[in-house]
Chains A and B, each alone.
Chain A
Amino acid sequence: NAGVTQTPKFQVLKTGQSMTLQCAQDMNHEYMSWYRQDPGMGLRLIHYSVGAGITDQGEVPNGYNVSRSTTEDFPLRLLSAAPSQTSVYFCASSYARGSYEQYFGPGTRLTVT
């Protein structure tokens, strides 16, 4: 099993550009989530999904969109990149929402200039 995969690993964008961060898991997990990690702060939840076709906002959703058309994939779209979105982004999955072991992707380091 590949676990949770993310692409790209690194990305530089100019302000105003859009892009999609890809996330996929091969463990048939129902719950998937996107976090951002910034210096001096704990990981913060951007969006999450409890199953195909169902998504919801987390703590810091502004400027991001998600969709979940399949169980495996959970892409994160930046609509119009801003310097405040410079961060490291992690996708995670677990069996279901709740007290289950979390599996994280390797992260995407995004810089917006």
Chain B
Amino acid sequence: KNEVEQSPQNLTAQEGEFITINCSYSVGISALHWLQQHPGGGIVSLFMLSSGKKKHGRLIATINIQEKHSSLHITASHPRDSAVYICAVFGGATNKLIFGTGTLLAVQP
């Protein structure tokens, strides 16, 4: 079993919909990252959090340390939000970043 699991693997939404992407992990962590990867490759950091909730524009990330679970929410989704969203945790036995396999989001106009 992977140490970081994301769901769903693929998600198609209509423009304007509220989107939730989930991340569960099985190791002790000191921080969790949400990353975005657009088609054609580059990866950018969206959030790093170790507790509670963070908001940036239409994106909200939450984490529940006790339940080992994080969610990334996108409000009023737009086609430009179409990307792969990657969850990564820092910690575990190796004290390094452990990545999920990503969620491919397509927002249709």
Contacts and interface: CB of A to CB of B under 8 A. Distances in A.
Contact of A42 (B50, B86, B95): B86
The secondary-structure label for the interface of chain A is: loop
A41 B30 contact: no
A71 to B, nearest CB: 20
A104 B42 contact: yes
Interface in A36-88: 40-45, 48, 58-59, 88
Contact of A102 (B95, B97, B98): B97
A103 B45 contact: yes
B41 A107 contact: yes
A107 B42 contact: yes
Interface stretch (B52-60, B71-79, B99-107): B99-107
B61 interface: no
Interface residues of A, number: 24
Contacts of B42: 104-107
Max chain B Cβ within 10 angstroms of own Cβ: one of A44, A45, A102, A107: A102
Contact of B90 (A43, A99, A106): A99
The secondary-structure label for the interface of chain B is: strand
Contacts of A43: 86, 88, 97, 99
B96 A45 contact: yes
B13 interface: no
Given A42-B4, A90-B43, A106-B42, A101 B99 contact: no
Nearest to A105: B42
Nearest to B94: A59
Contact of B99 (A42, A88, A100, A107): A42
A40 B94 CA distance: 22
A90 B35 CA distance: 13
Interface of B: 2, 4, 30-31, 33, 35, 41-45, 48, 50, 86, 88, 90, 94-102
